[in-house]
């Protein structure tokens, strides 16, 4: 792979000749001249999604409610937050490595916003943990992956893919890192999200759930961003787009997501069973393939077992006026999806 120069005065920023990788741009950010129209609308939505965890109220009530959760629910709550914290941390660190090789300044602009958002997500877990959980338990939650073999294996898998790309930035490792990122954003933590939706469905831990909804709104843009990067790669450099690698990695991601969710949630939480976890993960995998205009990996699974939880994903009362005094028209990513798709 060809790494971008930090200062490239001989670069050519002409939009017509711009490519997503292997181009020769100066790196100048100029949203008045973009090659990829989806990047411009995505920029507006990502910036419009700005939020900060301190503004999400009600965590004190969650602290009281947490003590009344069943032990299985408490264990799942802590384990899922531990995994989410790890993922957001590694995303913040790794995303700039993609920018080293992407030669569309407008796409690199989006990756910068994404890095910032992943940092906010890490902060949100800190905010939750410092209010809801006993101080003695916090360290155990942050470093749960060190002693838990199932979580360690998952973290090692995605960590190795990113590390291989950094150590040996070949075409193949770049593509694997892109796929790894897409799967992390689109599949890795969705049973965790479903767990919080499921609690909120029973009016439990509703402030945590609101926080998760802000995070999920950001994640929707991250899924779309990496889907679009991969589609541009397929269009401009079809030899690099390896559908076999994608399918193999998606299959592994599904196996790991199911194994981890069965381990940390299992059958002990009302509303979730190992059967629904398996179905939901496969259904989700199919939708992620569909986004890339690829056939489903599990054609026998055609419906979402958590359809009744979908309304929980939209229960942010603050959503339309988060900073009411300064922002009156608050963009919602879900309504903008159409303009990013191609």
Chain positions contacting Fe ion, by CB under 5 A: 88, 118, 121, 185, 219, 222
125 is catalytic: yes
- Are residues 285 and 254 in contact, defined by beta-carbon separation less than 8 angstroms? yes
- Residue 27: what are its φ and ψ, rounded to 5°? 95, -5
Shorter beta-carbon distance to Fe ion: residue 35 or 222: 222
**Two structure tokens written together for 207:** 């402030």
Shorter beta-carbon distance to Fe ion: residue 24 or 127: 127
Separation CA 97–CA 90 (nearest Å): 12
Shorter beta-carbon distance to Fe ion: residue 35 or 217: 217
From the candidates 36, 77, 125, 182, give the one annotated as an active-site residue: 125
Separation CA 124–CA 90 (nearest Å): 15
Shorter beta-carbon distance to Fe ion: residue 176 or 222: 222
Separation CA 107–CA 99 (nearest Å): 8
CB of 95 to Fe ion, least distance (A): 9
Shorter beta-carbon distance to Fe ion: residue 65 or 223: 223
CB of 49 to Fe ion, least distance (A): 12
Tokens 């609308």 locate to 41
Buried b or exposed e, range 154-170, using 16+ CB within 10 angstroms: bbeebbebbebbeeebe
CB of 158 to Fe ion, least distance (A): 12
CB of 162 to Fe ion, least distance (A): 14
Shorter beta-carbon distance to Fe ion: residue 185 or 197: 185
Shorter beta-carbon distance to Fe ion: residue 46 or 65: 46
Q: What one-character DSSP code corresponds to residue 10?
A: T
Separation CA 40–CA 104 (nearest Å): 12
For residue 263, the number of C-alpha atoms closer than 13 Å in the C-beta half-sphere is: 18
CB of 121 to Fe ion, least distance (A): 4
For residue 80, the number of C-alpha atoms closer than 13 Å in the C-beta half-sphere is: 26
- Partners of 21 in the beta sheet? 102
Provide the H-helix boundaries in the chain: 37-48, 59-66, 71-99, 105-132, 135-142, 144-147, 149-167, 171-183, 190-201, 206-236, 243-264, 274-291, 333-340
CB of 38 to Fe ion, least distance (A): 17
Separation CA 152–CA 144 (nearest Å): 9
The angle formed by the CA atoms of residues 286, 42 and 93, to the nearest 5 degrees, is: 80
- Are residues 175 and 240 in contact, defined by beta-carbon separation less than 8 angstroms? yes
- Known catalytic residues? 125
């Amino acid at each position: 792979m060809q790494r971008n120069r930090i200062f490239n005065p001989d670069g050519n920023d002409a939009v017509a000749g711009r490519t997503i990788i292997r181009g020769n741009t100066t790196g100048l950010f100029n949203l008045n001249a973009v090659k990829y129209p989806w990047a411009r609308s995505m920029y507006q939505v990502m910036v419009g999604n700005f939020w900060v965890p301190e503004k999400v109220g009600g965590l004190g009530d969650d602290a009281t409610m947490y003590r009344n959760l069943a032990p299985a629910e408490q264990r799942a709550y802590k384990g899922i937050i531990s995994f989410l914290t790890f993922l957001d941390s590694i995303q913040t660190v790794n995303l700039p490595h993609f920018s080293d090789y992407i030669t569309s300044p407008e796409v690199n602009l989006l990756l910068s916003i994404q890095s910032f958002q992943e940092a906010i997500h890490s902060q949100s877990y800190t905010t939750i943990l410092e209010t809801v959980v006993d101080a003695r338990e916090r360290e155990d939650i942050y470093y749960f992956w060190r002693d838990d073999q199932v979580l360690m294996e998952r973290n090692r898998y995605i960590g190795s893919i990113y590390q291989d790309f950094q150590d040996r930035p070949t075409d193949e490792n770049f593509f694997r890192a892109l796929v790894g990122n897409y799967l992390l954003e689109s599949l890795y933590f969705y049973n965790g999200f479903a767990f919080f939706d499921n609690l909120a469905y029973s009016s439990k831990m509703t402030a945590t759930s609101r926080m998760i909804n802000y995070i999920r709104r950001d994640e929707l843009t991250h899924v779309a961003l990496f889907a679009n990067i991969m589609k541009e790669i397929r269009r401009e450099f079809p030899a690099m787009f390896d559908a076999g690698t994608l399918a193999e990695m998606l299959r592994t991601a599904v196996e790991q997501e199911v194994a981890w969710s069965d381990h940390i949630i299992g059958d002990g939480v009302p509303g979730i069973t190992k059967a629904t976890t398996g179905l939901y993960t496969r259904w989700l995998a199919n939708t992620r393939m569909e986004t890339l205009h690829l056939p489903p990996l599990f054609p026998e699974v055609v419906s979402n077992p958590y359809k009744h939880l979908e309304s929980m994903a939209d229960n942010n009362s603050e959503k339309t006026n988060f900073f009411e005094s300064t922002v009156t028209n608050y963009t919602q990513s879900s309504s903008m999806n159409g303009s990013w798709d191609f």
